Structure 1
Amino acid sequence: MKNRRRNKNATSNRLAIIGITIVVLFIAFAIHVRSVTLREQAHEYQLQEESLQADIDEQKRLSEELEQKKIYVKTKEFTMEKAREIFGLKLPDEIIIKPDSDK
């Protein structure tokens, strides 16, 4: 009887150890899969961050160009240039030579 009880306890212990081992392996596999997914997601976020930073840099450059144009539009040179283009105006000491349209 004592021998039977010992075999039953040994079998129960083996099953418990096998069960615990399977659970631990399953948890390790789940953690590994999750870590791979997180690494891929982190890489995608890194690429997205770089793309957004490039967009920010481009918008800053455009903003600087607009600021320069805003300053230029307020100058007398710009006003005279537009007056010549739109209205055909000239300064008193300028001579405008137009090509002959007869030829």
Structure 2
Amino acid sequence: MKNRHKSKNTVSNRLAIVGITIVVLFIAFAMHVRSVTLKEQDREYQLQEESLQADIDAQKQLSEELEQKKIYVKTKEFTMEKAREIFGLKMPDEIIIKPDSN
């Protein structure tokens, strides 16, 4: 009887070890799959971050250009340029030569 009880414990222990091993392997596999998924997600986020940084840089450049234009619009040179362009006005000492329309 003692041998039977001992062999029953041995089989029971082996089944427990096999069961625990299977659970550990399953958890390791799940962690590996999650790790791969997170790495892919990280790559996507890095690409998105680079794209957003490029957009930020472009907007900063546009902002600088608009600031320069805002300053230029307030100058006398701009006013004179638009007066010539829109109304055909000229300065008193200026001579405008128009091309012949042949």
Answer yes or no: same fold by TM over 0.5: yes
Match of 1:34 in 2: 34
Task: Give the superposition deviation at 1:42.
Answer: 0.5
Match of 1:18 in 2: 18
Match of 2:81 in 1: 81
Q: How many residues are aligned here?
A: 102
SS of 1:62's equivalent in the other structure is helix
1:87-98 counterparts in 2 under 5 A? 87-98=87-98
Match of 1:61 in 2: 61
Task: Give the superposition deviation at 1:98.
Answer: 1.7
SS of 1:93's equivalent in the other structure is coil
Q: Percent of pairs identical after alignment?
A: 86
Q: Normalised by the size of structure 2, how large is the TM-score?
A: 0.97
SS of 1:96's equivalent in the other structure is coil
Gaps of 5+ in 2: none
Deviations 1:20-68 (A, max 9, x none): 0000000000000000100110110001000000000000000000000
Runs of 4+ in 1 over 4 A off after TM superposition: none
Q: Hey, what's the Cα distance between the residues in 1 that align with 2:4 and 2:97?
A: 122
Gaps of 5+ in 1: none
SS of 1:6's equivalent in the other structure is helix
Which amino acid in structure 2 is aligned with residue 84 of structure 1? R
Q: Superposition RMSD on alpha carbons, in Å?
A: 0.7
